[in-house]
Structure 1
């Protein structure tokens, strides 16, 4: 027994020392550092295997590949717009737009080189069947190219339906390029895109390998963007991935409630630029930017009568500014009347948590909607924990019960709104590659607020009594999950 105790003590000491060395050798924020240390200490051996595949930071080489990419097609526009902002000529008169929107526009110009685009036409989709029907219809009309970037592209009914359409247009000479995330598209056969590629199309995992998911050992950094660009004139951006569950075909989730945008206008320039940067970082030997005769087709001039001002904002581990999170903070701090948020994962960091609390305590009507159905156990329990904390600060929390809520939407004061791929959580702020459309349009903001009110009819408003009735075991899981928040 004495020898056994010494062996156990030795293992514990060795595991503790190895955990400290492993975690502290990399530069990361303090919250994530302690969360990973907790995992390694509580799960000797197993924790290190988990860390090997999930916890290791993205390689410096990959970060360089992303950072070296230029904002193709918009660099000069950024410089011009910064000058226009200084001369107060960038936005319409203050009586037509929330005055503090000017500051938000400038924030994104500085942090993400996100140009402000005007004259955009926007259609909002909240139903997967309607969204994919319109998307497929638009793709069939493509004349020059279709670029798709999705976190999940599944080998199922809708995945194959969309793929067949892409194969058909590629036969006709339309250039099809697809970026997908290996982990998000788990279960896909390596040969899924063979016919498309035989027809001249291209499909590549986001700076990954077409082989096993484990090849890169960087499972924690995912391409979570969801965008489609058609002929440089039509763009889709939002929360829907390509898969049957997003059309409500999975019994587990039931109806899938998401939000997606179809944009026709100059905002597509920014979406195209984002896609090209991601493609060039993924495929070093096939750079779109080197095809000089291609530029007019990639960035056609748009003359339309739309009236929505839009900035396409992206963020990810390749940038230290966390542009989308800063945008969320700006909107929270800007709200005077109301702030509506829909997010499937509510795991805010301290800065967002404090901003939401201050807004509610200051009299702003802060309403947050989360799903009633869990899709990730630890994430859902952490969401419940933060929902209770915010409820105690005066925030109204609604639990959507008509299926699964996957929408990522923020709207304030019927003035400014955001729809995209970024959740209100650590992962979207720090680990994932995300893209959102920030819109400065009263009508769109009103439409999104009305959608929120309609969803409230299918939601339960949570109360302190709701949480008090929960079992001690459930409360423990919520508190424990909260400790892992920075790495969920």
Structure 2
């Protein structure tokens, strides 16, 4: 295969010289042609490196090969900034080391509370997986309130922040300087002026349109408003590919808010195109808040170099939480990202789907599957496990929307139920297995969330909380349409073409 690619590229370069004609070229054209030929040569070298040395996913490898063949110049630039793993390892080697030290410090000071009577085959396996692949300690004595309406969720966040006496910690991918954004900004400024410590990590790419005045007003009031991995040269920086997709609020170390909702009018259903915005958020109280706090403090150490998990500060930022008002409710907090040794959340999806005995419910705005997850879902359905997947009816990203639909036929053919949400836009990220395991957080069911983004999720082992999540899921189905396999097969050739093309590049999305 490599020889065929080499010959093809050499022929293209030779034909270019023949067509243009060497004798007619002026000096500028000759230099341009030489540059093109050099780039062709570089593409050849890159193809060899991809095939021989990367030893990665075959789908991703083939996608990059096609990009380099058909777009040698553009493909070379894209590969330089987005394709090489060594950049990721270099960028996050220090972060991984620091995070490990901080998280191990947390685990040492907060040993796992474990009672075996809550475990069965499913929950025991998932618990051990997360303990080993992401150092996720088990926490108990928690309370969880689930919100499926973003207006109520945002109101709860504002009320929580307003109650803060000591500190508020926030971490968001995207913030907009609109009515919703300014409402949060005004409250944070108020709390900072009251003497409450306010720390805010925002993603530099996710907030690239955020006004400088919005940021400066926060900083002038004493809010520590810090970008995650700032990109100094937009679109030409390897940092662009690794983003902080986490959405988290922690109040005084005893209450936390985790989910898929960003900050902006769009996320409260105030944009005509999207209409009602369906998202999921968990309000968490209890010992799991300490685990979320440890992850925030590790991120804070990475972006600022300030270690707030020193011995003399632990009592302040990781307070002892009384179990008096909480139920047993076991939970693990999963932090995942390109600095992780394993694709922890992807492995959790795979394991939960594989171990399911009777039901799997998934809600996700994007559905980009690798071969393992696709096979796991198909195998579960063939094994008579009821699999239901809820996705949006309308696109917010053209490529991802059509790439997601390219998986529908294979899933429908084995009995997977696919529902499209038409009340508005479904941005919820939920996995429910066998009515006793719930995963809720920031990760979409796509390769970018599993491989490139920093994500955060709560793995909850509680039938009562799962029952509430199932109730909300079934309410969503009332505002959705079930795709009929026979009708889907009759979709137009144009739709099939868009699906196929977008799926081809889906490993790079």
TM-score, with structure 2 as normaliser: 0.88
The equivalent residue for 1:107 is 129
Question: Aligned-pair distance for 1:29?
Answer: 3.4
Cα 1:315–1:206 shift into 2, 3 Å = same
Say yes or no: does 1:313 pair with 2:337. no
Cα 1:117–1:470 shift into 2, 3 Å = same
Question: Aligned-pair distance for 1:135?
Answer: 0.4
Judge which range, 315-324 or 26-35, deviates more: 26-35
Say yes or no: does 1:416 pair with 2:416. no
The equivalent residue for 1:21 is 45
Cα 1:296–1:360 shift into 2, 3 Å = same
Question: Aligned-pair distance for 1:479?
Answer: 0.8
Cα 1:157–1:81 shift into 2, 3 Å = closer
Question: Aligned-pair distance for 1:215?
Answer: 6.7
Asked whether the 8 Å contact 1:208–1:282 carries over to 2, the reply is no
Question: Aligned-pair distance for 1:367?
Answer: 0.6
The equivalent residue for 1:293 is 312
Give secondary structure in 1 for the equivalent of 2:145: strand
| Counterpart-to-counterpart distance in 1, 2:409 and 2:35 | 39
Rg: which structure is higher?
2
Give secondary structure in 2 for the equivalent of 1:69: helix
Asked whether the 8 Å contact 2:368–2:403 carries over to 1, the reply is yes
The equivalent residue for 2:61 is 33
| Counterpart-to-counterpart distance in 2, 1:80 and 1:233 | 17
Question: Aligned-pair distance for 1:5?
Answer: 5.3
**1:188 pairs with 193, 210, 216, which one?**
210
Say yes or no: does 1:395 pair with 2:416. yes
| Counterpart-to-counterpart distance in 2, 1:99 and 1:279 | 37
Asked whether the 8 Å contact 1:232–1:269 carries over to 2, the reply is yes
Question: Aligned-pair distance for 1:315?
Answer: 1.0
**1:199 pairs with 213, 217, 221, which one?**
221
The equivalent residue for 1:435 is 456
| Counterpart-to-counterpart distance in 2, 1:288 and 1:205 | 18
Asked whether the 8 Å contact 2:432–2:439 carries over to 1, the reply is yes
Judge which range, 28-37 or 393-402, deviates more: 28-37
| Counterpart-to-counterpart distance in 1, 2:212 and 2:422 | 37
Cα 1:427–1:132 shift into 2, 3 Å = same
Cα 1:268–1:185 shift into 2, 3 Å = same
Asked whether the 8 Å contact 2:165–2:196 carries over to 1, the reply is yes
Say yes or no: does 1:245 pair with 2:266. yes
The equivalent residue for 1:164 is 186
| Counterpart-to-counterpart distance in 2, 1:426 and 1:411 | 20
Matches within 5 A, 1:87-486: 90-93=114-117, 96-209=118-231, 213-214=234-235, 216-284=237-305, 286-290=306-310, 292-304=311-323, 305-307=325-327, 308-486=329-507
1:166-204, CA deviations, whole angstroms, 9 ceiling, x for partnerless residues? 111111111111111112112112332212222222111
Give secondary structure in 2 for the equivalent of 1:347: coil
Say yes or no: does 1:4 pair with 2:19. yes
| Counterpart-to-counterpart distance in 1, 2:255 and 2:449 | 25
Give secondary structure in 1 for the equivalent of 2:372: helix
| Counterpart-to-counterpart distance in 1, 2:185 and 2:234 | 21
Question: Aligned-pair distance for 1:303?
Answer: 1.3
Question: Aligned-pair distance for 1:339?
Answer: 0.5
Q: CA RMSD in A?
A: 2.4
Cα 1:316–1:45 shift into 2, 3 Å = same
Give secondary structure in 2 for the equivalent of 1:193: helix
Judge which range, 292-301 or 359-368, deviates more: 292-301
Asked whether the 8 Å contact 1:360–1:366 carries over to 2, the reply is yes
| Counterpart-to-counterpart distance in 2, 1:21 and 1:174 | 55
Asked whether the 8 Å contact 1:97–1:415 carries over to 2, the reply is no
TM-score, with structure 1 as normaliser: 0.92
Give secondary structure in 1 for the equivalent of 2:313: helix
Cα 1:320–1:423 shift into 2, 3 Å = same
| Counterpart-to-counterpart distance in 1, 2:241 and 2:262 | 19
Question: Aligned-pair distance for 1:73?
Answer: 6.3
Cα 1:107–1:2 shift into 2, 3 Å = closer
Asked whether the 8 Å contact 2:36–2:73 carries over to 1, the reply is no
The equivalent residue for 1:46 is 74
| Counterpart-to-counterpart distance in 1, 2:200 and 2:17 | 61
Unaligned runs of 5+ in 2: 1-15, 23-31
Asked whether the 8 Å contact 1:182–1:213 carries over to 2, the reply is no
| Counterpart-to-counterpart distance in 1, 2:33 and 2:326 | 69
Question: Aligned-pair distance for 1:6?
Answer: 6.5
Unaligned runs of 5+ in 1: none
| Counterpart-to-counterpart distance in 2, 1:218 and 1:202 | 22
1:25-64, CA deviations, whole angstroms, 9 ceiling, x for partnerless residues? 6744332222122223222423334445544544444212
Give secondary structure in 1 for the equivalent of 2:98: coil
Question: Aligned-pair distance for 1:11?
Answer: 7.9
| Counterpart-to-counterpart distance in 2, 1:283 and 1:136 | 26
